[in-house]
Amino acid sequence: MESIIQEFHDAEIGKVLSNEPLANHTTMKIGGPADILIEPKNITSLKKALEIIKRNNLKWRAIGRGSNLLVSDKGIEGVVIKLGDGMDHLTIEENTITVGGGYSLIKLTTILSKKGLSGLEFAGGIPGSIGGAVYMNAGAHGADISKILNRAFILFEDGTMEWLSNEEMEFSYRTSILQSKRPGICLEAELVLKTGVRDDIVRQLQKNKDYRRETQPWNYPCAGSIFRNPLPNFAGQLIESSGLKGYQIGGAKISDQHANFIVNAGNATAQDVLNLIEFVKEKIKEKHNIDLETEVEIVGRK
């Protein structure tokens, strides 16, 4: 790996780290090391990095701000590309914005609300990146990214890049085409918002932030909702009605505040979380005859 790390340095792609603990890069504060972690300084640098990756036949995957992500205790083989500084550009032209995949969702909602642009208030308090939000079709309060996305610039597994329209993204509940049919990551998104009354937009955004703070355990390391809602049911209600709030395996605990959150209550391992996920699935199947599916993305060495 030393020669490959040197290649990345020589190409001046940005930050390059070896055997970097991914617990430092996830909101759950869990995860073993990446063989190599790089943080490209722009899209051109990312293209150079991918050329090196392909030339050396390395495995790779991308992450954003590490929310909605559970990384194996054994880490991730190959190269982890972190979309962060350098991939967080923002351009606002009237009601159309173009934003880098590494841009903070919380920061973006605040900026847009102050400019009187409406459509992203639902994301108030969601601690992810734009790229991750597009990938997962993030949503809350009856709205989601699919309602405002015009097109997205996607990096595919083979290293090619392409703009996809809203229709081509094939959005549905917490999913997009990027998760299965055409695996890829969002490098840039073009969003179309509506002009509204600034004070009303700011007020609604704050209301959504307050609701999230009051009902979800963001004072603990966590990854957001663990399970998809098996509509018309809600995962949190099913888990709570089964008496599982507060149930703990190792350092992983079902939140006392919201039952669809598993928190790192102290030195939790990924295996603790996986064991707790399986325990919850078994109990919900037994009590409600419903098969829960995870919303959190589980990645890394088995």
The catalytic site residues sit at: 174, 225, 295
Q: How far apart are CA 21 and CA 192, in angstroms?
A: 37
Pair type for strands 139-140 and 117-118: unpaired
Number of Cα atoms under 13 Å in the Cβ half of residue 117: 17
Instruction: Write a three-state SS string for 212-223.
Output: HHHHCCCCCCEC
Place of tokens 């709030």: 245
Residues sharing a CB contact under 8 Å with residue 250, sequence separation 6 or more, in sequence order: 268, 269, 271, 272, 275
Q: Considering only CA atoms, which of 246, 243, 231 is closest in space to residue 290? A: 231
Per DSSP, helices labelled H in 92-194 are 105-114, 130-136
Running DSSP on this structure, what letter comes out for residue 159? S
Q: What token pair was written down for 245?
A: 């709030």
Q: Can you say whether the dihedral through the CA atoms of 211, 217, 220, 222 is positive or negative?
A: negative
Query: If phi over 0 gives left and psi between -120 and 50 gives alpha, with beta otherwise, what is residue 72?
Result: beta
Residues sharing a CB contact under 8 Å with residue 25, sequence separation 6 or more, in sequence order: 31, 37, 63, 66, 80, 82
Please check whether residue 149 is in contact with residue 130, taking contact to mean a CB–CB distance below 8 angstroms. no
